[in-house]
Amino acid sequence: MVDTLTLGVVAFIYIIVILWLGYLGYKRTKQEEDFLVAGRKIHPVILALSYGATFISTSAIVGFGGVAAQLGMGLIWLTVLNIGIGIFLAFVIFGKKTREIGHRIKAVTFPDLLGRIYRSSFMQSVTGLIILVGMPLYTAAILIGGARFIETTLNIQYDLALIGFCVIVALYVILGGIIAVMYSDALQGAIMLIGMILLLVLTYNILGPVTDVNAELTAMAPLVPEGLQNAGMTGWTSFPETGSSIWLTMVTTIILGVGIGVLAQPQLVVRFMTVRNNKALNRAVFVGGPFILVMTGVAFTVGAVSNVYFYRNYGEIATTVAGNVDSIIPLFINDAMPELFVVVFMLALLAAAMSTLSSLFHTMGTSAGYDIWNNIKHSRLSRLWENGNEKPKESIQATVKTSFRASQIGTGVMIVISVIIAYLLPGDIIARATAMFFGLCAAAFLPALVYALYSKRPPFALAAKISLAVGAITWFLWTAFVHIKESSALGICNALFGRDALLGMPWQVVDPLIIALPLSAASLLIVLVVERTWKSSAEAEPS
């Protein structure tokens, strides 16, 4: 094991470099647009690494890597969706339209994009509100993953690791805005890429040839715990039984929940508006695709084959030895890897956590300061101005300028809230919190976003409002009253109805996304059909 002093020195140097990048961002943040969308002139390589580093966090490396150790290599299908949907579809199809429209209407945040397209302060404010309600859970889970690894590796008290980790990220986000975030993301993404490639190579160097290790893992199928066998798990190299509870969890929550949810992630969508042209997005695909392949593919593969290592050395599978799925990858690294690699992986994991955290902090801050506070203030003054009062005109301009400060204050407030939530969350939460937030965003935002980007006529705001409301409300209701992992933990259903979930199996393991997203899309289509039918009838009536 590398001594704590060496790890501490390396971590200190890394933090100094990150803060220096934050300072560069601060120096280059001259106006509101710089803080929010980096002046719309980010290099495509920085975009790709920032997008990938934001997407891939401790949830993928530690959280989902641990889930792969528990449930097997079926999670590789998530890698396929991440590349096909999260990179190719997101950049080439959604990204180009987002950039073109965002530049044309001068949108600077995801809620601002929807609000301006629909000409609706409601869409902007409510989208920002959903972000503020849902994102702190995801943020807190990332905080926990980073702090736990710092605690284990550097032998630092958990409270100190959590607060210190948070303060460092907060410094460069609040001061440097998205320029500092994306500069640091690029460095962190490069460190993550190197770390994960080395992890894959060293894992098979320790365990043996790929085919032999995979054959050994296949032969370990009888060691699957009885509870998982009864739930449909057939082994670590095979997919669960179709229709079983584990199959439903893996497909609906992990693969589809995260794979589809990436398209409507506010912290990712806004990055498409930071580049000059579509050519930059095309170039970014060739960096982003391999990055996601390595990051997720390695994490899921190493997580699964760690069972071979633990069984050889301890006579038990990974979950039994570690006791907690979020502890499997850190334990495997510290126990199996060479001393020097522990330093590299520590940096990779810190980079993964910090890159995602910085983007989440920035998104929550701009949602609070720009999309909610400033939007409400701007709307009130606009109404006075439209009624003939000339004084508010100057106030409106001043309010727009002060949104920069409001966003900084909003970032600080949301950071404090995220830290408080991190103290309240239970263990084994990293992967679950990620899937929850991704699912919420898809259910609430995706139909309205698709309609906004691809409508050939001015989009009908009422349809988008109803779709957003139906998606979000359905997701929250299914989470609180049906999906057993959340409904039992929240206790609302039990308090009201005397049981943990209103519906039995298999509905208890069907992810809220599978119910909420179709309803959200259907409600949008129904309102559009009704609206167009009404308009056609009105036009057909004789005057």
Contacts of 272 (CB under 8 A, 6+ apart): 91, 94, 95, 96, 98, 99, 102, 281
Q: Which one-letter amino acid corresponds to residue 475?
A: W
**Segment of 133-147, 302-316, 453-467 carrying the highest mean pLDDT:** 302-316
Confidence of residue 309 (pLDDT cuts 50, 70, 90): very high
Cis amide leading into 506 (omega within 30): yes
Greater model confidence, 495 or 293: 495
Confidence of residue 238 (pLDDT cuts 50, 70, 90): confident
Confidence of residue 515 (pLDDT cuts 50, 70, 90): very high
The answer to whether residue 29 scores a pLDDT higher than 70 is: no
Confidence of residue 396 (pLDDT cuts 50, 70, 90): very low
**Segment of 50-64, 147-161, 200-214, 411-425 carrying the highest mean pLDDT:** 200-214
Written as six digits, the tokens of 455 are 């409508």
Report pLDDT digits (tens) over 314-354: 999 988 888 778 778 888 888 888 877 877 777 777 777 77
The answer to whether residue 425 scores a pLDDT higher than 90 is: no
Distance of alpha carbon 411 from its chain centroid, rounded?
A: 17
| pLDDT of 374 | 76
| pLDDT of 109 | 85
With beta carbons less than 8 A apart as the criterion, state whether 330 and 65 touch: no
**What's the mean pLDDT in 137-147?**
79
**Segment of 42-51, 352-361, 455-464, 517-526 carrying the highest mean pLDDT:** 517-526
Render 219-246 in DSSP notation, one character per residue.
HTGGGS-HHHHHTT---SSSPPPTTSHH
The answer to whether residue 385 scores a pLDDT higher than 60 is: no
The answer to whether residue 524 scores a pLDDT higher than 70 is: yes
| pLDDT of 167 | 80
Percent of the chain with pLDDT over 90: 11
| pLDDT of 390 | 47
Confidence of residue 400 (pLDDT cuts 50, 70, 90): very low
The answer to whether residue 541 scores a pLDDT higher than 70 is: no
Report pLDDT digits (tens) over 48-96: 667 766 666 666 777 778 888 888 888 787 777 767 776 777 777 888 8
| pLDDT of 478 | 92
Q: Which one-letter amino acid corresponds to residue 20?
A: W
Cα gap 500→319, rounded to integer Å: 26
| pLDDT of 401 | 52
Cα gap 249→512, rounded to integer Å: 11
| pLDDT of 471 | 94
Cα gap 290→423, rounded to integer Å: 35
Greater model confidence, 333 or 391: 333
Q: Which CATH number fits domain 4-540: 1.20.1730.10, 3.30.70.920, 3.20.20.100, 3.40.50.10490?
A: 1.20.1730.10
**What's the mean pLDDT in 155-165?**
77
Task: Give me the chain's average pLDDT, please.
Answer: 79
Confidence of residue 466 (pLDDT cuts 50, 70, 90): very high
